[in-house]
Amino acid sequence: MKFDLKNKLSELKRKFTFKNLKNTFTGEEQKKHLKQGSYSSIMTVIVIAVVIVVNLVFGQLPSSITQIDVSDQKLYTLSKEGKKAVKDLSDKVTLYYYVKSGSEDDNISKLLKNFKEASSNIKVKTIDPDLHPTFATKYTSDNVSSGSVIVVNGNKSKVLSQSTLYQSEVNYQTMSQQTTGFDGEGQIVSALNYVTNDDMPVLYTLTGHEETELGSNLKDSIEKANMEIKSLNLLTSENVPEDTDILLIAAPQKDLSKEEADKVIAYLENGGKVFIFSSVNENELTNFESILRNYGLQRDKGLIIEGDNQHYIPKHPDYLIPDLSGSSDITSDLSGNTYVLTPDAQAIKKLDNYRDTLTITSLISTTERAYIKNITDEGKISAEKDDGDETGKFDVGVSVTENVGDEKEANLVYFSAVNMLSDDVDHMVNGGNTSVISSVLTSMSNVDKSSVVSIPSKSLSVSNLNITAYSASFWSIITMGVIPVLFLLAGFIIWMKRRKQ
């Protein structure tokens, strides 16, 4: 094939004339393409700008809006009590998250962020111990491990190790340590109250009469409320100490001496606060009872049996699930949403005659179907109701107040079931007993109520299902009777229809 260079050059010359080039860039078709391209470019720039602006706006929003806590227990979301405690904060407080870079705990990081967003008086700073190895020595002489939170207000501080923020216990099946709860919010609120308050309440527990030990759940709650627990031997003390905010008498098994009882009464008559538990006891506790009688109360010697199967643990009618009063300031917030369990409770009764200056308020009571069984000389009772058994609604927790002048008010709270202090019993109602007892202690404390907030730990394990005897019977009938019968009926109807066809 012969290449004709002369023709090719002529062809190119025709194509690249000024007129053709002008048409190429200014023709109607090209104008249309250029217009569409420009429009697309402008729209792309606008969309990118909108995305950037939206990201900047959402980046400034609080994490409570942009992040959803989907955990069952709302691990890093502040509770109502936590928000109130932070809202009341007037001092400038800094929360230092003392953690190595890359080792941050997700729950703690998000929780600290929520604290910061809840109050303008809270600052959160992260300190890397590798970069600042001597930082923690300003606040404690102890070794501070990575993952700790240091709460600082001026010269007052509190160090919360990561092992404090998380609860753990030994799994005896695997013989290994198992994390069971996250206590971040409760511990940090407790630390905030500690560093911002100088006046912390003192709780004395009476000793010397084989009193019941406090359960660890209640102790933890009291410590988180920044209450100091001290022991008191009234035999060696001239009187109840002046720094006492609350005196706790936890079911003495031996009687108090008359002098001890008189000291307790004298303390009450001067505007003191006394929280009393009792238990079924074979011994005569004459002087102990005299304290109750001085405030218009006495306890029945029999044991309460609940007749309403919605108010006791299945097969244990002496394990009462009583009602909390909705009219008392102490229990109104818990009434309707908290179970309490009061095993082996005795009826608290008012005396026929007591001072008209006393105000006696019911806090916890049974249903009208409860009855009292007397204990035999052998220490046994029968749960079966007899015709002669006293029946009715009985108090198992009451509060007595009395104005004693000089703007002072005596307050005696009495619960007749000391097993409420047991951790095992408390676990059966998911901490309900501790919540009620903590509410009583908070109400009795003379210091600012906002400084004794105690927020319970959030469980990481499966919660117990609280079910009454009535509910257990109801669902047993449904699952073992009604549902199988419905399936049988449906099958029989289908069989009949097919047979007719």
Per-residue pLDDT of the chain (501 residues; tens, 9 = 90+): 556 777 777 777 776 676 666 666 666 766 777 777 788 888 888 888 888 887 777 666 666 566 666 566 677 788 888 888 888 788 999 999 999 999 999 999 999 999 999 999 999 999 999 999 999 999 988 889 999 999 999 989 999 998 888 877 767 677 677 788 888 998 999 899 889 988 788 999 999 999 999 998 899 889 888 889 999 999 999 999 999 999 999 999 999 999 999 999 999 999 999 999 999 988 889 999 999 999 999 999 899 999 998 899 988 999 999 999 998 989 988 888 889 999 999 999 999 999 999 999 999 999 999 999 988 777 777 888 888 899 999 999 999 999 998 889 999 999 999 999 999 999 899 889 999 999 999 899 866 666 667 787 777 765 555 566 677 778 778 888 888 889 988 988 888 888 777
CA–CA gap between residue 165 and residue 151 (Å, rounded): 13
Beta bridge partners of 58: none
User: CA-CA distance, 397 to 326, in Å (whole number)?
Assistant: 13
Straight-line distance from the first to the last Cα atom of the chain, in angstroms, rounded to the nearest whole number: 88
pTM of the model: 0.70
Q: Are strands 156-160 and 148-153 parallel, antiparallel or unpaired?
A: antiparallel
Task: Kindly report the three-state secondary structure assignment for every residue of 296-363.
Answer: CEEECCCEEECCCCCCEECCEEEEECCEECCCCCCCCCCCCCCCCCEECCCCEEECCCCCCCEEEEEE
Pairing of strands 148-153, 93-98: antiparallel
Rg (CA), the chain: 36
DSSP 7: H
Q: At what angle do helices 184-196 and 80-87 cross, to 10 degrees?
A: 20
pLDDT for residue 211? 96
Encoded tokens for 297: 């109360």
Q: Are 82 and 185 in contact (CB under 8 A)?
A: yes
pLDDT of residue 430: 84
3-state secondary structure of 59: helix
Going by DSSP bridges, is the β-strand pair 395-405/246-250 parallel, antiparallel, or unpaired?
unpaired
b/e per residue 380-396 (b: at least 16 CB within 10 A): ebeeebeeebeeeebbb
What are the tokens at 182? 């996250």
* Residue the block writes with tokens 């002669």: 388
Amino acid at 97: Y
Angle in degrees, 0-180, between the axes of helices 80-87 and 106-118, rounded to the nearest 10: 50
Q: For position 72, what pLDDT does the model report?
A: 61
Q: Which two structure tokens, joined as six digits, stand for 385?
A: 């109701």
Give the side-chain half-sphere CA count within 13 A for 198. 2
Q: What is the per-residue DSSP string for 227-250?
A: PEEEEE-TTTSSSS-TT-SEEEEE
pLDDT by residue (tens digit) across 9-24? 777 777 667 666 666 6
| pLDDT tens digits along 256-265 | 999 999 999 9
Q: Which residue has the tokens 């029999």?
A: 302
Phi/psi for 182 (5° steps) reads: -115, 120
Contact 45, 38 (CB under 8 A): no
Residue with tokens 């009872």: 289
Reference 151, options 197, 95, 109, 194; nearest CA is 95
